[in-house]
Structure 1
Amino acid sequence: MVLKFPRLAGWASRRGSLWLLLLALVVALLGLLVWLAGRYESSMVQSRLEDHAALAVTDMRSGLNRNLQAIQALHARERSAEAWQVPAAQLLHEHREILRLEWRNETLDMLGFVETPFRKSVFEQLDRTSLQTDVSLACTSARRMSGPVYSTSYFLPQADGLGMEVSDMCLPLTDAGRVTGYAVATYSLQGLLSELVSKPLSQGIGLSLTEADGTRLALYGVPARASRSFVARQLLDLPGITFVVRMESRLGTPALFPNILTALVAALSLALMAVLFLLGRDMRRRLQVENDLGEALAFRKAMENSLLTGLRARDLHGRITYVNPAFCKMVGVDAQELLNQSMPSPYWPPELAGVYQRRQEMRLAGNHLPREGHESVFMRKDGTRFPVLIMEAPLINAVGKHTGWMSAILDVSEQRRTEEVSRASQDRLQASARLAMVGEMASLLSHELNQPLAAISSYATGSLNLLAHASAGDQPPDAPALSDDLRLAMGRIAEQAERAGKVIKSVHDFVRRSERVREVVTPRALLDAIMPLVILQARKLGVRISLEVDETCPPVLCDRTMVEQVLLNLARNGMQAMHSSDETGQPALALSGKVLTLRIRPAASNAHSQWIEFAVIDQGEGISSEVARQLFTPFFTTKQEGMGLGLSLCRTVIEQHGGFLGYESVQPQGTIFSFTLPVAVAKSAAGAAMHHTPGES
């Protein structure tokens, strides 16, 4: 037993030594890991700082290049020194790093300068002329290099007892290869650091510009307090000068082993928990998304089934891939019969199927279709045709790929029927207005027709008397003289009868209700058609009619009856306006001085106008501001017996022709009502271009 105890003691001692050795190895390994981790983290900090310094140099170079482009753009076009100062001041307002901007001629004489608005003049203590040598050297080098050159930095004392380091940039201005002047920009070196380096790079670090020997020229920012300091240097090589950008950061590194190990284990544990949490949340979100997707599909299906607008989807080959119930009901065909159907579609009218198919092939061959709607004609299963309005847009899938076309189709049959009813009602309303106008002229017609009828009666009585004397044989008839007298009397009778017929025909043509057919008419013909009725009214009211017609005006394309009604209505309103001026006691013109002018001439928009202007100029009391606000309102009138529809209908007729009806005052008194009509040639060409067969897309 005595011999065994030393063995056990030796084994225990050797085992303890092994554990101590293992512990020492673990400690050494951990120490090595700590040291390597520290070195690695230090190298990462230094590498990151080097990258930041390189980015800071890149920011400064990019900023200087942008400034150079802005200065070049400032002198891109000719302008005076006074005009140059406004954009130059704006440039300095946007770039705080530039303290002064000068424009000099080819001999370096000053043409103009602008200083930064953010501080007092930097040359207040030291005159600019004393630094001419540095500018001359920089501009001489810039002219030799045909590019911008930066001068060596120099110190400028300031009024507050401090100072700053600045550098001048000289840019030669050339015209056709010849130097015409120089643009000189004075940079603050501290401004280069504070304005050109991005803010994330300059936070929490010390940024400075130094010379090659380490002399610090400008400093921006103070590094935060920490256990270690890291420094990175990068060269800022500019034409004419080289700076060293020094970046200092005091970022601490981990010093204790437990911190690294704890951070690593905690990070792995947190990462595992975060992964499990994210997986659980992702599962819940997937279930929620599936539920929402089911509800969205159900809602979309319900919405599509309740829509009154037909929906149709087609692929790039023209095959129908989707239709909603509204479209099936519209064309009277089941969805199973429409899906996967290509051209010709079963709802195409047979007589238009060839035209639709050719147009369909041309449109599907293009890259896109216009989004504006167009009209077409579809056919129901029972063979009835009906008009539709089609609006089509490209069908884009979730990855942005064009897979086909989506169409929204509206049945506009009821709309067309309503438009026809409205058009017919308007025609009846306009016809009623014409009848009412002619009723007002009935007394004038009777007075006007009395004269030709009385003349006819007188000439007929004279002719009968001549024949009676000749047959009685009281005196020997002189055959030639009698024949001449009878021929003259018959001619007078024919003239007066023709005159009466023209008056009646003009009223008949005006009252007659005709279809809306636009025809080519000369402007003078429109005026001549209403002149008998205008003259009737003018004689009653004692108004003289003056015509100013440019005979070179080309024909217009219009609904002749409607435009004649507009002209007559405006003429009657003008004459009544002058007549009411006399009745209300306003200063009126003499009877012979009351003139209504009817004027026709090309519109004054340009020398080759495609519009003809018709104007009715009166000398009445004018239109007050209260009346002007409601002048074209339906059923508004200033006449006791008026209906208030005349001007409203007139504007509607002119706007249907694409023209414009307006008015303006005349000095000293009076009003001009004018409207425009399109020239027949231009309008016909436009109509031919717009005319087409209803298209299916």
Structure 2
Amino acid sequence: MPCRSKHERVVSVPGFERNAWQRWYLWLLLAMLVLALLGTVVWLAGRHEVEQAQAALDRDTTDAVADLRASLQRNIQSLRALRLPAQNAPGDAAWPPEAAALLREHREMVRLERRDAGLMPLAVLETPYRMRIFDKVTRGSEQNDVALACTTARKLVAPAYSPSHYVPMPEGGGIELMELCVPVEGGYLVATYGLRDMLTELLGPTLARGQEVAFAEPDGTRLAIIGVRRRAGTRIFTSQQLVDLPGVTLMLRVDGWRAAPDIFPNLLTALVTAISIALVSVLVLLARDTRRRLKAEFELAETLAFRKAMEDSVITGLRARDLRGRLTYVNPAFCEMVGFSAEELVAVHGETAGSESGHRDAPGMPEAPYWPTELAHEYQQRQAHRLAGGMPPREGFESVFMRKDGSRFPVLIFEAPLLNAQRVQTGWMSAFIDVSEQRRIEELSRASQERLQASARLATVGEMASLLSHELAQPLAAIASYASGSLNLLEGGADRGDADRGAVIDTNVEVAMAVRRIAEQADRAGQVIRSVHDFVRRRDRTREAVAPRALIDAVLPLVQLQARKLSVRIDMALEDTLPAVLCDRTLVEQVLLNLARNAMQAMDMPELVERVLQLRVLLAGGTDSRDGYSNGIARASEVRRWVEFSVADIGSGISKDVEERLFTPFFTTRADGMGLGLSLCRTVVEQHGGALVYAPHRPRGTVFRFTLPAA
């Protein structure tokens, strides 16, 4: 703390105290103003809430009176609509079924009577919901309430009501009733209403919820009451409305219970709190806001610097375009990839895009300097499609770019919409990966695989050489035998001369037959040689549509060579109308041959009396009913169909130890094996988009299945 003189301290303290007192005075004045404003607002809010509650209760009472009058008028219409029988009809027969239905429908009516012009009762019908209230003695012609109501109705020539009267009940208590007299032909219809039932049925439960409803005399005497009683801590709100009926006037009184108004009503609490916070805390908020803003600016600068360093250090090229196709950002990796500077790309490409921004067709799109000339038109169409809203594939797509020196290189492009903080698209963001080295490694791997496949084919040919000598000996021996027989026949025919013309003709027929047999055996030998030649020779790897039958027929002669040696019977089944498969014919034939040879070698066991090799071809997702197994390949989608090839044996199966290393290169269970057959088979199938799987074969053995796409 810097040292100050005594004079400076003495002078500064009074000024500080004066400023502090002024600040406290201002804060006190502000607090008093806020308290006064708060008290005024609270008083006005409480008064407003009371007025609102009373107005709502008055509206409910007025609506209830209107509903009551309308309901009573509808009852009068229902009474007038009753079909009345003859006056001399005795007992219950004097009432139609409609009257009983009317009493069942209207619970507020407790009794219905028919009286003649002299008010003598003709017929009576009681409500089914209450025990009998009157007897014949108390409801004679001298009954005052009925007489008063009917006299008023006679004067008004309209229905009239009597004043309410109290009737005690036999079991104790009583009920307040009111009579309605309706003039009809030859007399009167008298309906007796229960006032409490009128409140319950005609006004409904809505009005009585949370409040008390009562019929009262004009002087305030309550006649009938329904609803809930007042709870402690509540305030009473009362509304009264006159119910003026012909012959009588009642008062409908509604007492509503409302909780006492809150000290701070909800509507104005937020306003008062906001004003108080604004007046008291404005300076604090300003100081905090300034401090937070400086901190946010510092953090933003740090974040931008970090993101800039991160974008500059990545090896993936980044490019941003707006919705008009203008290039707005490129990172150093992209510039290094194409050989152009950021200024060259953004300035030149941006000006070109701005001049062509009104066009959406392919020719109007700007050309980027890193587009190859021969592919510029295609890239323009792709960019136009993207700017028109077309979504790119999520897995990315490959393209070819041109460096500044004119050299071409492949890139893998990933594009996604560029969204701002409001989640509104403002352009497109692209990421580029130079895949030149990856393609070079893939090409080396492909060449290595081809060499391995060639080695495997040559090894297979070495094993087939010993079989070919035995197999070709049979057709060659047959050719020699047929040739010797033909010569003998020809010499015998020459000795006969023309002596026996018929014998010469028979000889010619036999010679022709022998020559055909010679041709067949020669074709058989040539087919075996061609199969081996086609299998060994190295052809270009082109995929073509090949019928599954053609693939099986191509390797069948080679399979039959080993099948005869090992005494294996070949069981082959192909579904009808199989589609052609899109494949590299040579590679797929090698897969079939390797799987068949492995299956036959698995059955080379002395204990097997019958050895069967099963070849099946069917649509993927189907079931072969001959051997009872269902294929393990997933059912093909509707867009692309698959064809499944299966090779099954009845050998000893595959042990658990062998399963773990079955597809490992150079792993084999045979002393003379190379361990490349199954590994190459799976690689070939996966390159075609299919899958190679195996499973136990019932009742014994193993089945290998692989799929190829239909052409």
Bin the TM-score by the shorter chain.
Answer: 0.5 to 0.7
CA distance in 2 between counterparts of 1:373 and 1:283 reads: 46
Aligned to 1:41: 42
CA distance in 2 between counterparts of 1:507 and 1:326 reads: 53
Q: Which stretch has the larger CA shift, 495-504 or 569-578? A: 495-504
Other structure's SS at 2:674 match:
coil
Q: Which of 1 and 2 has greater Rg?
A: 2
Q: Which stretch has the larger CA shift, 544-553 or 405-414? A: 544-553
Taking structure 1 as reference, are residues 243 and 651 closer, same or farther at Cα in structure 2, changes over 3 Å only? farther
2:337 is matched with which residue: 330, 334, 348?
Answer: 330
Aligned to 2:642: 611
Q: Indicate the structure whose relative CO is greater, using CA pairs within 8 Å and at least 6 residues apart.
A: 1
Aligned to 1:548: 573
Deviation at 1:414, TM superposition (A): 1.4
Aligned to 1:506: 531
Taking structure 1 as reference, are residues 279 and 606 closer, same or farther at Cα in structure 2, changes over 3 Å only? closer
User: Is the 8 Å Cα contact of residues 662 and 674 (structure 1) preserved in structure 2?
Assistant: yes
Deviations 1:69-111 (CA, angstroms, capped at 9, x unpaired): xxxxxxxxxxxxxxxxxxxxxxxxxxxxxxxxxxxxxxxxxxx
Aligned to 1:366: 389
Aligned to 1:120: none
Q: Which amino acid aligns with 1:601?
A: L
User: Is the 8 Å Cα contact of residues 369 and 394 (structure 1) preserved in structure 2?
Assistant: no
Aligned to 2:618: 601
Taking structure 1 as reference, are residues 494 and 246 closer, same or farther at Cα in structure 2, changes over 3 Å only? same
Q: Which amino acid aligns with 1:523?
A: P
Aligned to 2:295: 288
Deviations 1:196-233 (CA, angstroms, capped at 9, x unpaired): xxxxxxxxxxxx944446853798xx9xxxxxx67498
Other structure's SS at 2:603 match:
helix
Taking structure 1 as reference, are residues 487 and 437 closer, same or farther at Cα in structure 2, changes over 3 Å only? same
CA distance in 2 between counterparts of 1:636 and 1:624 reads: 14
CA distance in 2 between counterparts of 1:234 and 1:563 reads: 97
CA distance in 2 between counterparts of 1:487 and 1:418 reads: 61
CA distance in 2 between counterparts of 1:234 and 1:637 reads: 101
Other structure's SS at 1:677 match:
strand
Q: Mind listing any 5+ residue stretches in structure 2 that lack a counterpart?
A: 1-30, 56-127, 131-208, 215-225, 240-253, 266-271, 354-365, 623-634
CA distance in 2 between counterparts of 1:52 and 1:510 reads: 100
Report 1:182-331 matches (<5 A).
Answer: 209-212=210-213, 215-216=227-228, 231=235, 246-248=258-260, 272=280, 274-331=281-338
Q: Which amino acid aligns with 2:314?
A: L
Deviation at 1:489, TM superposition (A): 6.0
Report the count of equivalent residues. 465
Report 1:249-648 matches (<5 A).
Answer: 272=280, 274-340=281-347, 341=349, 342=353, 343-366=366-389, 371-457=394-480, 492-579=517-604, 582-583=605-606, 588=608, 590=609, 593-603=610-620, 604=622, 605=635, 610-648=641-679
Deviation at 1:47, TM superposition (A): 5.7
CA distance in 2 between counterparts of 1:516 and 1:333 reads: 38
Taking structure 1 as reference, are residues 665 and 210 closer, same or farther at Cα in structure 2, changes over 3 Å only? farther
Taking structure 1 as reference, are residues 45 and 508 closer, same or farther at Cα in structure 2, changes over 3 Å only? farther
Deviation at 1:528, TM superposition (A): 0.8
What is the Cα-based RMSD across aligned positions, in Å? 4.6
CA distance in 2 between counterparts of 1:667 and 1:677 reads: 24
Aligned to 2:166: none
TM-score scaled by length of structure 2: 0.56
Deviations 1:52-81 (CA, angstroms, capped at 9, x unpaired): 999xxxxxxxxxxxxxxxxxxxxxxxxxxx
Instruction: Report percent identity of matched pairs.
Output: 57
Other structure's SS at 1:388 match:
strand
CA distance in 2 between counterparts of 1:516 and 1:384 reads: 28
2:701 is equivalent to residue 670 of structure 1: yes
Q: Mind listing any 5+ residue stretches in structure 1 that lack a counterpart?
A: 1-29, 55-131, 135-207, 223-228, 236-241, 254-262, 681-697
CA distance in 2 between counterparts of 1:371 and 1:646 reads: 36
CA distance in 2 between counterparts of 1:358 and 1:492 reads: 65
Taking structure 1 as reference, are residues 233 and 453 closer, same or farther at Cα in structure 2, changes over 3 Å only? farther
Deviation at 1:527, TM superposition (A): 0.8
User: Is the 8 Å Cα contact of residues 233 and 247 (structure 1) preserved in structure 2?
Assistant: no
Aligned to 2:710: 679
Deviation at 1:572, TM superposition (A): 1.4
Deviation at 1:334, TM superposition (A): 2.0
Deviations 1:575-615 (CA, angstroms, capped at 9, x unpaired): 11221xx24x5xx3x2xx32212222333159999332322
CA distance in 1 between counterparts of 2:395 and 2:408 reads: 23
CA distance in 2 between counterparts of 1:462 and 1:535 reads: 29
